[in-house]
């Protein structure tokens, strides 16, 4: 498995967790839990953004993605 493929899997997993936390925040009636899940969702959104940024960097700088000279 390549670093790029690993990062793609990490992005997908983080997005899945983000969706789960957002769903929990929406569905719960417990205000304390709602706040907790909203905070977790916010943290996970930051994780997704960081992973996407790293994936973009790796994709741009991967010598296998560059044309042969």
Task: Tell me, yes or no, whether 2 lies in a domain.
Answer: no
pTM of the predicted model as reported, rounded to 2 decimal places: 0.84
Domain that holds residue 47: 7-59
State how far Cα 66 lies from the chain centre.
26
Task: Tell me, yes or no, whether 66 lies in a domain.
Answer: no
The CA radius of gyration of the chain, in Å to the nearest whole number, is 16
Instruction: Measure the CA–CA gap between 12 and 24, rounded to whole angstroms.
Output: 18
Are the C-beta atoms of residues 47 and 14 closer than 8 Å to each other? yes
Structure confidence by residue, pLDDT tens digits, 32-51: 999 999 999 999 999 999 99
Structure confidence by residue, pLDDT tens digits, 14-38: 999 999 999 999 999 999 999 999 9
Q: Tokens 């973009």 — which residue?
A: 56
Phi, psi of 31 (to 5 degrees): -65, -35
Q: How many domains does the chain have?
A: 1
């Amino acid at each position: 498995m390549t670093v790029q493929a690993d990062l793609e899997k990490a992005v997908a997993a983080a997005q899945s967790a983000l969706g789960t936390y957002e769903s929990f925040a929406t569905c719960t009636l417990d205000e304390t839990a709602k706040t907790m899940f909203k905070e977790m969702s916010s943290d996970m959104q930051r994780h997704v953004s960081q992973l996407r940024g790293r994936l973009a960097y790796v994709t741009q700088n991967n010598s296998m993605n560059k044309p042969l000279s």
